[in-house]
Structure 1
Amino acid sequence: MSRGRFPGRDGRLAAAEGHSQRTPRSGRVRGMVSALEGIVAPAAHEWTRLGLPEEPLRLAAMRILLRLVVIRRAEGTGLLPCDDPLYGPSYSLSGLHRRLRGERLAGEGSLAGRGHAWPRVQALFQLVWAGSDHPALPIRAYGGELFEPGRTGSDSPVLQALALLRVNGPDDAGVLEVLDRLGECERLAGGPEAPAARLVGTLYEELLEWRLELESGEPRAVNDRSRRKGTGSFYTPPELARDLVRRTLDPLLVDVKNHLRPPEELLSLRVCDPAMGSGSFLSAALEHLSEAVVRSAQQHGRLRAAHSGRESSAATLVDLGRDIRLELPGAADDPLLEESLRVRVRRLVVENCLWGVDLDPVAVELARTALWLETLDRRLPLTFLDHKLVSGDALVGCWLSDLPVYPLSAWRHEPAAPQVNAEARSVLLAKTSPLLPLSGSGRPESVRRRLSGCLDELRAIPIEFPDRKRAGYRARVLGDSEAVALKGQMDRWCALWFTQGGPGPERPGPRLWYSCPDAGMEPAARAASTRRFLHWELVFPDVFEGEFPGFDALLGNPPWEVLRSRPDRFLLSRWFSGRACPGGPLDARYRALSRKTGDPCAADAEARSAPFVEQGASDHNTYRLFLEQAWHLIRAGGRLGFLVPGGIASDRGAAPLRRLFLDQGEWEQLISFDNRRRLFPVDGRLKFCAVVVRKGGRTERVHASFGNETPVPAEGVAWSRELIEDHSAQLAFPELSGGEEIALFTALHRAGIPLVRWRPSTRAASYARELDAGNGEGLFAPVPDWLARGAVPYLPEPGEPAADHQAAGFPAALDLWKDRDGLLLPVVHGALVLPHGLSNPDPREGISPRDLMPLDRYFRGRGRGLKVAVRRVTNATNTRTLIAGLVPDLPCTDKAAVLTLPAVEEMLLLLALLNSFPLDFVARRICAGTNLDRHHLMRLPMPSLSNLGRISSLADHPPDPPWGSLGSGSIGVRLARNALRLGACHPLFAPLWVRCAESWPELLQRPWHAWWAVTPATRTALKVENDLLAASACGLGPEALDLMLEECGHPSERLADPAFAATLDRRGFWRVDRERPPEARHTELVRTLSRPAGRRFPAEGSGGSADTALPATGRSPAGRPPSESATTSVPAAPGWEQTLVPHLGPLLAPWQEGLDAADNWKLCRETAGRLAELGFRLLPGRTGLL
């Protein structure tokens, strides 16, 4: 037997690159991983010599670690007899730990190299698995997959690894290190009092992140978070689980008078978690239901004195109904009686009320073990829940109503589909019965009914005889020949969706399917073993039999995964899409024929024949699939409570589910959580929601609560159905925290026009996503790749307009590149999009692209011309959520969504409004995740054209030239002109400036570059004016702006304090300019100047204006009529220079001073002409300036 030294605490833990180098709760997790390495080390050389993969060895070591944790908890709770004179000193884990620690402290020889402890540990595992019949040590055989012994010749690689580890374990020093670190496992899970499900779940979840590498026979654990993310294995914090369980189950525990139901009714409840993991929700449900049953027995007078015949000892008889009677020691008023009753009730609740499913067999075994630990009943084997907690795919299975109908949809989009459809028609015309023959004489519904009756009889066996129940289950349920045959046919039905190839013996067509029931059974068995089909009615027949088939409640935290990331996405997509849309008229005729022939199971569950019809048009997401599946699994009047991503509240793909819950159920609660405090160990920007719905009726009011950061949520706001429908045709929930926000949000929507219908002239805005940022579609590549191919920045020849730019020393060149094949264009990613413009507003900084694209490839594509790009990856808690920038004729990736309108002036107006506080206020309430998508943007409330056409009341100024329907000097014109100055600060916008100078000739009176807002002072002034104009166009007064911009006036020192910032509204605008003093902040200037007392208009020549009086030299207005330079739109008393310049610097950059207007505009026109020669467009379908 090989004995290995245990690696040191700082041993050889490998650090993966990047984020995987940082381990969560690193010290304790490192201890667990070191324990894993220590278990593996002695067997690593032999395993490497055999040439076997590392993963089975890692799983075997993890199973051993889990065994030790479970035994430690079982000994601590009395499930294993540590006080037994034989078990305690000879077998117990706690006894071994004490002995080894004592020897180490006493220095009684070296523990290193000594091999006494590991054989004792293995003997303990065998004792738990097989039990002991010896009268001196009577311990039952607990069994269970977790403790199954390893076998050298097993077909399971994990059992082979366990066999190797049994004879190649750590020495006594290594065993002591492992035992020491078991305490770290407990502390990681919350301490010795943590629920058993949390204990095993946390350990399993954390170890799931690590993979094992064997280099030269030496084990090395490498952190790989993608493993855990790919399985969706994130243990739900117990506080969250308990709160959701309470909200979901409480209405089921009381009658119409709100009185607690009798115990027998509570023990008849059926609760299931379809993605149970290690059982956190089932553990919380066990605790909640057990307390309810105990209180119900007390309130309904079910405790009475028992006549034991012994005067010296009192006893109490507890009648729980359903022929369940318990005799407990002690009087009814004995304080210890309640705890004794609670222990017995927990066993009854587990056996009668709880069901669970999970795709991961290890997680299922952990859930069984956790609930076994929770029962505190040493008479029960670990296998007593094998028939109630099962491993399988909760989303892939066959219903009895599906079985008579050949699945034509399984062939959809395949070349053989026409052949299969023709064969199905011939079978139908030949009047062949579509009822599927079974082995034996039973029909599907009779098999289900018989199995249900067997389970009822087994449940009636007293709890003192668990082995009799287990034997009966194996013989009468698992051994039922007709049930086995029925499962084979259901597997065959599902396998058609998950096998490839044309019709034949391996994948039978309709004729062979009905004429030969055995056709395709072998591949079906293989597919069922691989994919773990789960046929709900066959696995849990007692749940779906009777007057009210289905569960009373489903709850849990299902995986959050988009199917397109799965390697088997094609097969899964075919399954879910086909199940949602059965095989057309032929399928309907088959189903109708099955009903005419009197098949009752087809009528009972016809609604389940298309279980995934409410998934929307977007990619399939597992959380939505689980929600809809749960809806079909609960009975009428049943309830579901799930933790799901925040997209359930607002995503377009979840809109059909929201309508289902609102129209066909009573949606009671929607509780949204922020993950900033890492309730789940994923991205802190993500949000998730607790959803509680009752099936049946119609929703009139939903209690919604947003922004919760702790497991105990705040009281929500009652949303009326009318408010939800008025806000969004897709029934999306905005994140509003109170009555004032609701009033403001509602006012904006009722006064505004959704962007999808907002038409400044001939048409509404169009939305597009141009290039896939994920793979480049072969059209663009990173800058380093181009540099390696010899690409260099484009330097214009002397005499070209761009060369004049460079020679003048202000804007560099055109920010283009070139290689031997021609010009390269910067590709606009979302990160390049800043408010109003691209990258840095100072053109000398240039555009800093990540990727480049050949000019000729882009010019051959679509999406040409000027565009407004919106950053898609964003969050409601960022400094700004709605970030829109003006983009010249350059390619954009899908992370920079593109909006276009027919005229450039309209796009400038759109740009100004999208960057305003009123629209960003709305965006921050409707963006529930990390993406701002089309369905968010297109429902933004735009100001009416009549409001935009009003003359600005902020200042008196000479009339501007007429523009479209907005009129002279209108709010819309001023917004557009300011947006031009803020967004078009680059030579690539020269065509736009030439076009605007034709509409606004007064632009020509000052140099082109003098109009560019490149200094912080000028940009702040223009943005403040735009926000005041936008608020006026939206009909908002000072009080509304105060509400939007509250908490923005705190000193910079306080806003920089994380503790203080955590007390502020996470969606507030207080992050904007928080490094500045309050009087120079964008937000505070808007609030101050929104009130008449805050406005002062300087006398003639007293200073600059944010729009019209920007001085050409920085000292005095030039090139403008005196009447214009004497007024300002929104000055802060005593003027912009006195207010902003001391804090933010001058209004003009040095390179903007001293320019000649005529020469500068000539340069602009020449640059525009050169861009037109290169092929750049100003508007789609037009080149140059046309």
Structure 2
Amino acid sequence: MADTDRVIAYFATGEQAEAVLGILLEALNASHMCHCQLVANLRQQPDGTLLSRRQALDALDQAMIQLIMRCVVLLFIEARQLLPISCQPYNLAALYERLQYPSSSSYQPAAWTCLCTLFTLLYNSGSLDSPGGGMVFQAGDKDSADGVLRALALFEDQGVVRISDESVLKLLRLLKYTNCQPVDFTLLHVEAIGQIYQSLLDFRLSLDDQQTPTFYLARRKDRRKSSGTFYTQSQLTRLIAQRTLEPLVYTTDGIPRSPQAILALKICDPACGTGSFLSSALDYLAAALQQAYLYYDEEPAPPENSLRRQIAEHCLYGVDLCPFTVELARISLWLEVVDCRLTLRFLNQHIKTGNAFIGAWESPPVDVHSYKERKQFHDRWCARWFCSPEQRRSLDGPMADTLVAQLAATHRFFHWELEFPAIFHTATWGFDACLTNPPWEALKPGSREFFSAYDPVYLSYHKQQALSAQQDLFEADKEIELAWLARQVDYKNIKNWIKHAGLSMDKLAAKQTATAPPFRYQGSADLNTYKLFLELAHYLLKPQGYLGMLVPAAIYSDQGTASLRRLFLEQCDWRLLIGFVNRRHIFPIHSSFKFAFLLIQKGGSTRHVSASFHQEQAAALECPEQEMIQLSRQQIAALSPGSLAILEVQKAQDSAILEKLYAHAIPLGEQAEGTWRIRYAREFDMTSDSALFSSIHHWQQQGYRPDQFGRWRDPQQRYALPLYEGRMIGAFDPSEKGWISGSGRRALWKDIPLTQKSIQPQFLLPWECYRDSGKVLHGNKIGFMDICSASNTRSMYASMLHGFPCGNVIPVLQPVDAGIVSVAALTANLNALVYDYALRCRLGGQHLNYFIIAETPLLPPALITQTMSSQWAARLNLIMSCYAPQWLELRAQYPHLGQQHWRQLWALTPHERLRLRCLLDTLIADLYGLDYHELAWILRPDPQHLKGFWRVDKEKPFALRHTTLILAAFAYLKEVGREHFERNEWQFPIDIATQLGPRFTPWQLHGTIAESWSECEQLAENMYRE
């Protein structure tokens, strides 16, 4: 596999793909035809209609990719000696040799002409397929209705785009060598076909028609989504195939099932891409079949290529949206079999093009018999869901058949029962196994992804700038607006289909499978393809069939997947759940992204799930179930009664600690008497409410200036309020960062020193908007950062706030008792590391949505509010003049505070803030009922623990770290008791205190106690008066 790994790694960087495409790009730019005219000609359809400019460029792009993939496939074919005799005079090896060592003694035809001849011979040979090699080798046609075929004709016609012998040599050299080392295609695994194709899709052809028109390549990561192409590493596909298929081919004692039983298996990848999972299934089943022949000794085992051919012919099925991707999947399997008796004609019946989601399950009338009639019947029914109101009226007219055919071709309706009758028209309805890594994308069109393809700096705009940029693009090019509107319409249609189509289908399907037709378990969240594929695959299985799928970690943690979890736990046996984090870049996405493999057997119910989390390498799939943690269904329900979220529990100790935490707590979202009865709000949406607020520069130009309380006012005494964004707060810090410049992801922020706290926002909101909004929580409240990660230093950053609006990235909590004592105690609980530990166990994504925190364990208000937690939290949090009224409220509740210097109550030094944080973490851990060993386990300094708190103060000496000092304080509390601990306010040992510096700033020591509280009273009066 060394050559395979090297080729895959080299193409994964994009450099090789860009260089290969660059050769054809150079020829395209050197075309004899004007670039703009070339695109204009390509836009012209034979029927007189026009492709959009973007469609024409994409057709050129796809043609370039197809030409390169032809060469790649040819190199594989020749290496396996599968080139038909009729094609051998034009083989690539001889052509490459001739180009490397040209001879001047005789005439040699142009290399590109030879290549195109070879493509044509292969297409017409019948060895690969009938009429030939499918669309991979299909020649271009300048009169075709297919834009890609017309684009291919431009490249194949040397009169339009001329490709020199030198260019052909460069092209072949780039494919035959990586890092100056030759590639042995004899040893190269066919999975490289998928990686090469995927890397080519990372680039998109564009045309700069300013002054001198020039074609160029722009890198676009999201293009793979539109093609349905997602390459999965071979080790993952191999192990997933093994995990999924092992129960089907071996008994629990490891004995192979009979050859007949193995050959009777039906395996499907409903999002097969270039066939990597089908290839791994082929390898695994062929090896198992050979073992079965040897074990049962019924007859001599056939040759390996014959075994592989039998598996390909009898067992493997696949579907994908992209026709060219399907062709590559067929060819990849054909190359894997290495048996000329297996033709692509047969694989055409097993691996098909279509939209796996959109198709009919109902039975046609008894008088409809032929495939064509049945397909027309099904297509007509589906067409009603995807046609416009005007088109719907035509469905009953003379042009109905034409319209239905157009809609079927556009949306690629796929009727599973019709396309695979051997699977669904038998007594054993369905597949034995479905395994895949489906696309992970939201179906809802994303403006950021769409418009950034036309405006390179679009991602840096805030909402109003983005809307303005959209209008500019629409005015400059009407096609962009039409394309955007078309995406909106397509989404609405498929959303309507997903929501309602299953309810309209014949009940026969449900009777046959004992399962409601899809899609009934998608939940209330936005549609996502991986959820659709999960439910579809489950439906496609026969009873006791196996589903093995690689999906985002949201499957076991998000509210939007709760219905699927309930299905898999209550109506299936959920066998395995292995969670991964992308730290070793298994996929070319962010290193913090998490995904999971799940293995489910249809039918029955789940007793326990064998689970493992935070894995970083594919080898984790080999871990025996006995070595994983066993999560019972009852335990899952106890920790997440509403959503059935599966917490990321790694060890038995974690499970025991969580059970203890929940035994001493109540869920945050509980609304019964005696609980917090918390209200949750997202006050102002940074997108949909963007018209209500403006940048600070706008307000400054209107004469607004800040006062000492954080409010802004103009000479006419009109007020505007700072709009809180996520970076502006920290734990117990209402002013952690201030805005400097920029917007969106390019905004720059600065840290605000503890002794200079002020609110420094990017946006201001009119006071009237805040006052009149029905979404605002007035009074004391808690804002927390929505964007987070379970692998950051901590996950919850909460701060008390009062009187200021918050954007949606700072959701707001407010208990039913919104007094400062209650709110401060709740803030203390939320910022405690023990609470953070419980939160991180259920945090699977990047956002602290309400459904996640709603089931987290909070201490009962009657318990925590009777402790010092409110006072300690206030000293950490209320460190600005604008909180003077809250201090007066606290003094009324705790009169002894009036005997202390008001400014000295503010924790403004690292020493005092760390001390108070340790006091709070210690007290709250004790209130949760933990012992020293349990707290030490939570805080253990283990860098291998992905969600651990070893990152807290990791830059400091071990003795000065927050986690170390918590344990010291906790040991002291257990020694002297909670009451003594609170009353005497534990202090750092002398040697630690000396290293941490003073507890107070010199400024805090000025004035008398009476003067300090007089200042507080005056500030509060000024706030209310103004």
Q: Could you tell me how far apart the structure 2 residues matched to 1:251 and 1:907 are?
A: 54
Structure 2 counterpart SS, 1:130: helix
Asked if the contact 2:275–2:329 (Cα under 8 Å) also holds between the matched residues in 1, the reply is: yes
Q: Which amino acid aligns with 1:867?
A: K
| Change beyond 3 A, Cα 1:740–1:792 | farther
CA distance in structure 1 between the partners assigned to 2:17 and 2:69 by the alignment: 14
Q: CA deviation at 1:979?
A: 0.9
Q: Which amino acid aligns with 2:783?
A: A
Which residues in structure 2 correspond to 1:816-835 (within 5 Å)?
816=712, 822-835=718-731
> Structure 1, residues 88-113: CA drift from partner, whole Å, max 9, x if none?
6x41212222332334xxxx7899x9
Counterparts of residues 704-783 of structure 1 (less than 5 Å):
704-713=611-620, 714=623, 715-729=627-641, 730-757=643-670, 764-783=677-696
How far has the Cα of 1:529 moved from its partner? 1.4
Deviations 1:303-355 (A, max 9, x none): 34xxxxxxxxxxxxx5xxxxxxx6xxxxxxxxxxxxxx111111221111111
Are the aligned partners of 2:139 and 2:152 in contact in 1 as well (CA < 8 Å)? Answer: yes
Q: Structure 1's 791 and 203: CA in aligned 2 closer, same or farther, altered over 3 A?
A: farther
SS at match of 1:1165: helix
Q: Confirm or deny that 1:170 pairs with 2:81.
A: no
- Residue in structure 2 matched with residue 985 of structure 1 by the alignment: 879
Mark the CA change 1:606 to 1:291 in structure 2 (over 3 Å): closer, same or farther.
Answer: closer
Cα deviation 1:276-326 (Å, max 9, x = unaligned): 11111111111111111111112121334xxxxxxxxxxxxx5xxxxxxx6
Deviation, structure 1 residue 709: 0.3
2:416 maps to which of 536, 541, 544: 536
Alignment check: 8 A CA contact 1:40 1:57 kept: no
- Whether the 8 Å contact between 2:607 and 2:632 is mirrored in structure 1 is yes
The letter for the 2-side match of 1:1087 is L
Seen in structure 2, the aligned counterparts of structure 1 residues 288 and 1156 have a Cα distance that, compared at 3 Å, is: same
Question: In the alignment, which residue of structure 2 is the partner of 1:28?
Answer: 16
C-alpha separation in 1, matches of 2:808 and 2:423: 47
Aligned to 2:556: 649
Residue identity matched to 1:571: N
Report how far residue 485 of structure 1 moved. Answer: 1.8
What are the equivalent positions in structure 2 for 1:232-311 lying under 5 Å apart?
A: 233-255=229-251, 258-304=254-300
User: Residue 697 of structure 1: SS of its match in structure 2?
Assistant: coil
Deviations 1:530-564 (A, max 9, x none): 11111111111111011111111111011212233
Instruction: Tell me the TM-score normalized by structure 2.
Output: 0.85
* C-alpha distance in 1 between matches for 2:717 and 2:104: 77
For the residue of structure 2 that corresponds to 1:170, the secondary structure is: coil
Q: Are the structure 2 counterparts of residues 100 and 830 from structure 1 closer, same or farther at C-alpha, using a change threshold of 3 Å?
A: same
What corresponds to 1:351 in structure 2?
A: 313
In the alignment, which of 841, 846, 855 is matched to residue 930 of structure 1? 846
Structure 2 gap ranges (5+): 1-9, 43-55, 447-486, 737-752
After alignment, is 861-870 or 734-743 more displaced? 861-870
1:570: which partner in 2? 492
Code of the aligned partner of 2:808: D
Paired position in structure 2 for 1:118: 112
Q: Distance in 2 between matches of 1:163 and 1:1075?
A: 63
CA contact (8 A) 1:868 1:898 kept: yes
Name the residue aligned to 1:91. Answer: 90
Q: Which moved more, 1:1144-1153 or 1:872-881?
A: 1144-1153
Larger deviation, residues 175-184 vs 257-266: 257-266
Q: Any residues of structure 2 matched to 1:791-810 within 5 Å, and which?
A: 791=702, 794-796=705-707, 802=708
| Cα displacement (A) at 1:990 | 2.2
> C-alpha distance in 2, partners of 1:158/1:396?
25
Q: 660-669 or 743-752, which moves further after superposition? A: 743-752
1:550–1:23: structure 2 CA closer, same or farther, 3 Å change rule?
closer
Is 1:63 the counterpart of 2:66? The answer is: yes
CA contact (8 A) 1:77 1:376 kept: yes
1:1155 is aligned, of 1007, 1014, 1021, to 1007
Is the 8 Å Cα contact of residues 434 and 548 (structure 2) preserved in structure 1?
A: yes
Q: 2:153 aligned with 1:157, yes or no?
A: no
Distance 1:197 1:792 in 2: 67
Please name the residue that 2:591 is paired with: 684
User: Residues of 1 paired with 2:673 and 2:181: CA distance?
Assistant: 59
Identity of matched residues, %: 32
Q: 1:757 to 1:297 in 2, by over 3 A?
A: same
Which range is displaced more, 1039-1048 or 113-122? 113-122
Q: 1:211 aligns with which of 189, 195, 204?
A: 204
**Mean alpha-carbon deviation: is it higher for 260-269 or for 821-830?**
821-830
**Residue identity in the other structure for 1:696:** G
Q: TM-score, normalised by structure 1?
A: 0.74
Question: What CA distance in whole angstroms lies between the structure 2 residues aligned with 1:1149 and 1:815?
Answer: 26
Specify every segment of 5 or more residues in structure 1 that has no aligned partner in the other structure, as ranges: 1-21, 305-317, 319-325, 327-340, 404-436, 448-481, 509-515, 797-801, 803-812, 949-965, 1049-1060, 1098-1105, 1109-1126, 1175-1186
Task: State how far apart, in whole Å, the 2-side matches of 1:853 and 1:945 are.
Answer: 34
Tell me, yes or no, if the aligned pair for 1:552 and 1:639 is still in contact at 8 Å: yes
Taking structure 1 as reference, are residues 361 and 766 closer, same or farther at Cα in structure 2, changes over 3 Å only? Answer: same
1: CA distance between counterparts of 2:531 and 2:547?
13
Task: Select between 706-715 and 139-148 the one with higher mean Cα deviation.
Answer: 139-148
Q: Matched residues in 2 for 1:186 and 1:115: separation?
A: 30
Closer, same or farther in 2 for the Cα pair 1:763/1:736, shift >3 Å? closer
Which of 360, 364, 383 is 2:322 aligned to?
A: 360
> Root-mean-square deviation (CA), in Å?
3.2
C-alpha distance in 1, partners of 2:561/2:143?
Answer: 50
Tell me the residue number matched to 1:469: none
Change (3 A) 1:822 1:187: farther
Partner of 2:433: 553
Matched residues in 2 for 1:979 and 1:615: separation? 42
Going from structure 1 to structure 2, the CA distance change for 1:762 and 1:266 (only over 3 Å counts) comes to closer
CA distance in 1, matches of 2:970, 2:1024: 43
Q: Give 1:606 shift.
A: 7.3
Counterpart AA for 1:205: Q
In the other structure, the counterpart of 1:838 is: 734
For 1:58 and 1:198, locate their aligned partners in 2 and report how far apart those are by CA, in whole Å: 23
Q: Secondary structure at the match of 1:563?
A: coil
Quote the Cα distance in structure 1 between the aligned partners of 2:994 and 2:809. 36
Change (3 A) 1:43 1:130: farther
Larger CA deviation: 359-368 vs 921-930: 359-368
For residues 570-609 of structure 1, the aligned pairs below 5 Å read 570-579=492-501, 582=503, 603-604=511-512, 607-609=515-517
Distance 1:1161 1:865 in 2: 22
The question of whether the paired residues in 1 share the 8 Å contact of 2:227 and 2:321 is answered with no
Distance 1:607 1:743, change over 3 A: closer
Q: Is the 8 A contact 1:1022 1:1107 kept in 2?
A: no
Distance 1:301 1:852, change over 3 A: same
Pair 1:887 & 2:801 matched: yes
Q: Paired residue for 1:858, among 745, 770, 773?
A: 770
Q: Aligned equivalents of 1:771 and 1:562: distance in 2? A: 24
Instruction: Report the alpha carbon displacement of residue 523 of structure 1 after superposing the two structures with TM.
Output: 3.1
Is the helix fraction higher in 1 or 2?
A: 2
Deviation at residue 192 of structure 1 after TM alignment: 4.5
After the TM superposition, which residues 1157-1176 of structure 1 pair with which residues of structure 2 at under 5 Å, given as runs? 1157-1173=1009-1025
Q: Deviations over 1:79-137 (max 9, x none)?
A: 227xx7x966x41212222332334xxxx7899x998221111122112112299xxxx
Distance 1:239 1:699 in 2: 28
Q: CA deviation at 1:229?
A: 4.7
Does the aligned pair in 1 maintain the 2:290–2:307 contact within 8 Å?
Answer: yes
Structure exhibiting the larger radius of gyration computed from Cα positions: 1
Alignment match of 1:1139 (pick from 956, 981, 992) = 992
